[in-house]
Amino acid sequence: MKSKILDQLDQPEFLLPSLIAAGLVANDRIKARLSALQAAAAHARKPDGRGFDLSDECRAAGLDAIAIQDLVGHAMVGSDERLTSSGLAALLAAIWNDAIEMVHAVAAGDRPSADAFEARLVAIRAATAQDRSDAIAFDEVARLTEVSSVERDGLHRLVMDLHKALNRLATLHAEENLAGAHVYGLQEEDRPAVEAFMRGIESTRKLKFDHPGLSTTAIRANGKLTIQNDIGETDAHVVIVAVEPDIVTLTYTDVHLARAKFFTRLFDDFAVDWSGLDRKTADGLGDDGVFYLVTGRGRTVDDRARFALLEATGAALVFLIDWNKARKVLRNWVSKGDAVHVLEYAARHRFGHRGFLELGGRELVASAVHHAASARIGFGEQLDDALGREAAVEFLQNVLSIAAETLLEGGSPRLARDRIEADLAQRLQRVDAKLLAVVLRQSGLARQIAADIQRFLAAQRTGAPTNGAVLAARARLIEEKADRIALDARGEIARLQANPTIAQLIDGVEQAIDELEQAAFICSLAPSQMAAILLEPLEDVCAAAVAGTEAAASGVTAAMDLPDKQRADADDALAAVGRLVDAEHRADAAERDVTAKVFSGQFDLKTSLSALDLARSLERATDRLAGFGHLLRERVLADLSA
C-alpha cells in the first residue's frame, strides 16, 4: 500500500485495514504495559511477595519480556513515597503513544467516534501528572490501571472502549476477495461497481506480462465506495475512484506530467471533466518530491454508463506501466509527439507497449534496421528520415502490436524479430514505390508532348490549321515542370537514401522529355504545310514515341506494386519493357524512311532539315525510353529476387 501518497491525498480509508491491525496490536501492547505498571507497583510495596511472570503476555504483544521483567524487578518506593524504577518514564510514554495509535486507527473508519475518544484521552491525560522522571505516584498508577466506573472515566476504560470500536470496525471491514480485488466493508449495491472495474483490469492485465502491479483495493467509508489501484511500483503513481450514484470521480497522481496528460486522453469517449494538472510536492515522492495530480468527474445517468466508465478506467491502467520507459525508447526513432502518438494508438487498440519492452525495446528495432535497412538508415538516424513520418509511426505501431501478439501466442522472440524485419523491408520498398510515382508522373508529361506533336502532324496532313509556336511554348512549359519535379525527386532520393535505380529512371524520362521538347521546337520552325510523303513516316516516328511513353507509364505502374510480390505485376512490368524496345525499333525504321525520302532530293532545304531533325529528335526520345526500359527490367528482376 502506497501510504505516503494516500496520506497526501487524504485517503486514510485505504489504510484502514492495516490501521485496524496496528490498533489491535497497540491494544495488546498497552494492556501488557499496564499490567507491567501494576506489577511494578505491587513489587515495590512487597519486594518479597509473589513474583510476576509477564513473559507470555509480553511476547504476544511484541514487547521485550526481559526488559519488562527488569523494570518490575527493580521497582521500589522512592524517598518521596513514589514508585520508581529504571525505564519507568519510557514505559509511561509508550502507554500514551499506544492509546494515541488506537484512536488514530478508529479515526480511519469512524471519525465521529474517534473524535469522542480523542477528547476523552486529552481529558484523562490532562488529569494525570506528566513527569518525565522514572517515578510516578502510586495513586496515579491506580487511576491508570483500574477499570473505572462509567461515571468516572479512566485510561483503562478508554482502552477497553477503543478495543470494542476496533473489533467492530474489524468485523465491518473484514477482507474479502471480489473478482480479484481486496474489498472491505462493502454494501451489496457496491459489488457491481467493483466487478465492473475489475472486468476492465482483467481485460488487459495480460498485457503487463511479468511486470508487478495493478493490485486493487475497494472499501466503503464515509458513506461512499472508493476503489484504489496501485498501477505499478512508482510510489506516487495511483488512481483512486470514488463511486457515487450519479458521478464517478477519478483522482490520478503521477511523477511524469506527460503520462498524466496521456491518461486523461484515454477517456475522450466519455463525458469526463478534468481539472488542471496540479503540481504537488512531498518528501520521498518523485524527483525532488514533485508529482502531478489531476481529477476527472464523470457524470453517469444510469448503472450502464457508470459501469462502462469504471470498466474503461480499469482497462486503461496497464498502459501506464513503464509508459515513460517506452516513450524514451521510441524517441530514438521518431519525435517526442509521435512517440506519444504511437503509445496512444497501442493503448486504444488494446495491445500496449509492455510486450515491446519485454522483447528488448530499442534493441528490437535496432536489430530490424541492421538486418533490413543498414544501407538506408545510419546509426542514430530517425526512422521518419528514411520512411517518412507517417510510415515511421505506422511501422512502430506495428512493432508494438507484433511484440504483444507474439508473446501472447507463445511465439519466440526470433519470430517477432523476423516479422518486424520483414515489415521494415516492405515499408522501405513502399517508399521506393512512392518515388516511382514521380517517374510515372514524368511519363505522363512526356506523353503529353508526344501526343501534342502527333496531333500537330495529323492536322498538317489533313490540311487543318496549325500553330507551331503554341505547340513549342506548351512543350517548353511541360519540360520546365518536369525539370522541377525531377529536381525535387532527386533531393528526396538523396535524403531517403533510396534505391539509386530510381534516380536513373528519372534521368531517363527527363532526357526523353528534353528530346520531345526539342521536336516540338522544330515543329514551330518547319514549313506550315509539309509534303504528305514526309508527314506519313514522321507520324509513324511520333506514334512510336507516344507508344513508348505509354509503355513506360504502364511499366512503372506495375513496378510500383511489386513490394506486394504480385507475379502478375512483374509480368506486366516486363511486358511493358518489351513494348518499349518494340517502339524504339519502330521509331528507328520510320526515321530511316524519313531520311531516305529526304535524300531523294525533291524537297527544299528548310523542309529537308526540318523533317530530318524532327524525325531524329523523336527517334532519340524512343532511344531514351528504351534505355529507361532496360533499367526498369533490372529493377523488376531485383525486386523479384529480394
Quick: pLDDT tens for 364-388. 888 888 776 655 565 556 787 667 7
* Residue 150: per-residue pLDDT: 61
Q: Which of 146-150, 305-309, 595-599 has the lowest mean pLDDT?
A: 146-150
In whole angstroms, give the CA distance from residue 176 to residue 218: 10
In whole numbers, what is the pLDDT of the chain averaged over residues? 87
* Residue 338: per-residue pLDDT: 94
Asked if the model's pLDDT at residue 149 lies above 70, the reply is no
* Residue 378: per-residue pLDDT: 57
* Residue 534: per-residue pLDDT: 93
In whole angstroms, give the CA distance from residue 244 to residue 227: 12
Residues in a beta bridge with 565? none
For 440-465, give the DSSP string: HHHHHHHHHHHHHHHHHHHHHHHT--
Query: What confidence category does residue 437 fall into, taking pLDDT thresholds of 50, 70 and 90?
Result: confident
Asked if the model's pLDDT at residue 221 lies above 80, the reply is no
* Residue 586: per-residue pLDDT: 96
Only one residue has cell 506550315, namely 528
* Residue 369: per-residue pLDDT: 81
Quick: pLDDT tens for 45-87. 998 877 778 888 888 788 999 999 999 999 999 888 899 999 9
Quick: pLDDT tens for 286-304. 556 678 888 999 998 899 9
* Residue 355: per-residue pLDDT: 95
SS (H, E, C) 549-563: HHHHHHHHHHHHCHH
Asked if the model's pLDDT at residue 622 lies above 90, the reply is yes
What residue type is assigned to position 301 of the chain? V
Contacts of 522 (CB under 8 A, 6+ apart): 610, 613, 614, 617
Residue 184 backbone phi and psi in degrees, to 5:
-140, 130
Task: Sketch out the chain's domains with CATH numbers.
Answer: 11-172 (no CATH), 175-321 (no CATH), 325-411 (no CATH), 432-641 (1.20.58.220)
Query: What confidence category does residue 206 fall into, taking pLDDT thresholds of 50, 70 and 90?
Result: very high
Q: Which of 17-26, 117-126, 388-397, 493-502 has the lowest mean pLDDT?
A: 493-502
In whole angstroms, give the CA distance from residue 623 to residue 642: 29
* Residue 381: per-residue pLDDT: 66
Quick: pLDDT tens for 542-575. 999 999 999 999 988 888 776 555 567 678 888 9
Quick: pLDDT tens for 455-490. 999 999 888 989 999 999 999 999 999 999 999 888
Asked if the model's pLDDT at residue 134 lies above 80, the reply is yes
If you average pLDDT over each of 102-111, 171-180, 382-391, which comes out highest?
102-111
